[in-house]
Structure 1
Amino acid sequence: MSSQKDTGISFAHAPDGVGYKLLELPPELLALLESEDPPILTLESSTNSALLKSRTQSWGLRQKNTSNALILLTTSGANVSSQMPETGLKAIATIHDTIELVPESAGQPAPVARGKWHEKFSSGR
């Protein structure tokens, strides 16, 4: 018979106060960053959005909202009052949007942002 208790995994909601943003990388940019000679990237402002630029390409940053929240987890420490270490999980942030990179052509201006899809949907009702 084991002296360990099967109490499951402890879980706590413990926001850490850091503002997280997730950046969705297009496959071609990921390949550039993982190459032997990765490019230097710069951020520049434009009329409608920020631009992420390399020597030969540029991408517009667009915010994508989602109804499916992403929860960032970290492990929690051991319980010092017990002789058996207890590991658990802490939810440190909930993310409701991501940043998408859209390829931009040098000659064309970025498209005008038209707002959140649910705002457009509700305005027609």
Structure 2
Amino acid sequence: MSSQQDTGILLNHAHNGIGYKLLELPPEVVTLLESENAPVLTIESSTNSAILKSGAESWGLRQKNTSNALILLQSSNETSTTSSQIPETSLKAIATIHDTIELVSEPTGKTAPVARGKWHERFARGR
């Protein structure tokens, strides 16, 4: 008979202080990056955003906010603080992400549209 109890997986919130951003890549960029002769990508600034460039192609980087947060988890084996010193598998929530960055195809030479602020900021000003 085992002396261990199946109590599930422990989840700790242990923010590691590192800022994470998720970058959503369009299929054509993924294809470029996975090719045998992957091109050199550069990031240039524009008046309102950053532009990712590869030869004649360019993509504007846009921040998208989401109401559904994404939680980054990291597994760990920690020694239990209970009477037994048996390592227990646990998960750490190391970051919560509320926005992502997407790439939007842009014609070369065209400037990014003027940022108008977040919806809730515009709504608050109009009230």
- Please, what TM-score do these two structures have when normalized by structure 2? 0.89
Gaps of 5+ in 1: none
Q: Which residue of 2 aligns with 1:8?
A: 8
Secondary structure of the structure 2 residue equivalent to 1:118: helix
Matched ranges for 1:1-125 at <5 A: 1-79=1-79, 82=84, 84-125=86-127
- What is the number of equivalent residue pairs in this alignment? 125
Secondary structure of the structure 2 residue equivalent to 1:111: coil
CA distance in 2, matches of 1:100, 1:94: 18
Instruction: Note if contact 2:56-2:108 (Cα within 8 Å) is conserved in structure 1.
Output: no
Secondary structure of the structure 1 residue equivalent to 2:115: coil
Instruction: Note if contact 1:58-1:104 (Cα within 8 Å) is conserved in structure 2.
Output: yes
Secondary structure of the structure 2 residue equivalent to 1:58: strand
CA distance in 1, matches of 2:106, 2:78: 49
- Please, what TM-score do these two structures have when normalized by structure 1? 0.90
Gaps of 5+ in 2: none
1:8-58 deviations in Å (ceiling 9; x for gaps): 111100000001000000110011001111110011101111111111211
Instruction: Note if contact 1:4-1:84 (Cα within 8 Å) is conserved in structure 2.
Output: no
CA distance in 1, matches of 2:32, 2:25: 11
Aligned-residue CA RMSD (Å):
1.6
Shift of residue 74 of structure 1? 0.2
Aligned residues with identical type, % of pairs: 72
CA distance in 2, matches of 1:66, 1:55: 32
